Amino acid sequence: MAISGTFSAGDQVSGEAFDCAVDQTPSSSSFVQIESWATDIQVAGGDTPVSNFNTFDVPIVYTGEQNPYTVTVTCVYSEAAATDVFPEIYDDYVAAPGLAYDFRWTPKGNTTGNFRFTTSGGKLVNVMHPSWTATGATPSTFQFVIACSAITRDTVPV
């Protein structure tokens, strides 16, 4: 593989067309859109552990199996309806911590050919309570965390 091409102004991907969804029952592949609530996605993990070992002659580097991922999604907190994102996800977590849950996001929007990332084997491992401040006009947010064994990249189908 060789990297080619140049980066040009306007090639960057920002969040204006972002599309994201949760699958509360991954066996059914029925993703529910949440981009109107989501404000931030952070992905951690997926790295390969390394162990260094030295002989008297040469250093030796060992690598292990790839670590799992965690995906933390920040959403606006709302109590307007029982089907809003917070009560839905929070109630799922309280009823069954570690429930099978997957998350999918498409940075350039749900248009044919755009890259799409999807967790595989995801588990809902935390839903953090919202926090508030007495000052400012910033909406309250909450976070949920999905741990997963892999994140696949494909493209939005036709």
Cβ-defined contacts of 91-98 (< 8 Å, 24+): 92/24, 92/124, 93/124, 93/126, 93/127, 93/144, 94/127, 97/124, 97/125, 98/123, 98/124, 98/125
Please state the pTM of the whole predicted model: 0.86
The whole-number pLDDT of residue 15 equals 66
Tokens standing for residue 149? 């064994």
Which one-letter DSSP state was computed for residue 27? G
Number of other residues whose CB lies within 10 A of the CB of residue 12: 7
Confidence band for 59, pLDDT divided at 50, 70 and 90: very high
Q: What CA–CA distance (Å, rounded) separates 144 from 75?
A: 8
* Of 29-43, 78-92, 112-126, 130-144, minimum mean pLDDT range: 130-144
What value does the mean pLDDT of the chain take? 90
Task: Write the pLDDT tens digit of every residue in 85-99.
Answer: 999 999 999 999 999
| Domain architecture of the chain: domains with CATH | 19-155 (2.40.30)
Residue 95 · residue 87 · CB < 8 Å: no
